[in-house]
């Protein structure tokens, strides 16, 4: 906008007041909620790794191959997709659609492995 009185008086037009525009928008809600979500994801990851380790130890003590496949399916269903989403969200060349597609495909593979163990022993 041009300051009309300054132009009429022969002086230079005054620059408009600068407007502060945030560089990054905030998403996710209150900081407490975000911290609670990250804490719950951390607990879920640690529990899935703990269960996978227990299944692997059971497999090594003489369990069948099903225990190993079940542990692998569990890790693919829970831990790997979360880590993929975290890693791929920091890669600017990967679109959100591909990030979710890859994570969901890994979850599907884990679920198929678990279902193969559950329904494969009849």
Which of the pair, 12 or 92, is modelled with greater confidence? 92
Contact between residue 13 and residue 7 where contact means Cβ atoms under 8 Å apart = yes
CB atoms within 10 A of CB 114: 18
Question: What's the pLDDT score for residue 9?
Answer: 62
Q: Does residue 6 register a pLDDT over 70?
A: no
Position 42 confidence tier, pLDDT thresholds 50, 70, 90: confident
In the numeric block, the tokens 């163990």 are attached to 117
3-state helix, strand, coil in the chain (%, to 5): 70, 0, 30
Which of the pair, 110 or 90, is modelled with greater confidence? 110
Alpha-carbon gap, residue 106 to 80, rounded angstroms: 7
Residues 6+ apart with CB under 8 A from 32: none
Phi, psi of 14 (to 5 degrees): -75, 140
In the numeric block, the tokens 């609670």 are attached to 36
């Amino acid at each position: 906008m041009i300051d009309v009185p300054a132009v009429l008086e022969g002086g230079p037009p005054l620059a408009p007041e600068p407007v502060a525009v945030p560089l990054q928008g905030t998403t996710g809600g209150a900081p407490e909620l975000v911290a609670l979500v990250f804490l719950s994801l951390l607990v879920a990851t640690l529990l899935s790794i703990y269960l996978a380790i227990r299944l692997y130890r059971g497999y090594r003590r003489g369990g069948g191959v099903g225990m190993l496949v079940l542990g692998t399916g569990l890790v693919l269903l829970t831990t790997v997709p979360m880590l993929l989403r975290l890693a791929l969200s920091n890669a600017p060349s990967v679109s959100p659609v591909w990030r979710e597609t890859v994570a969901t495909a890994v979850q599907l593979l884990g679920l198929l492995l678990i279902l193969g163990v559950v329904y494969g022993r009849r």
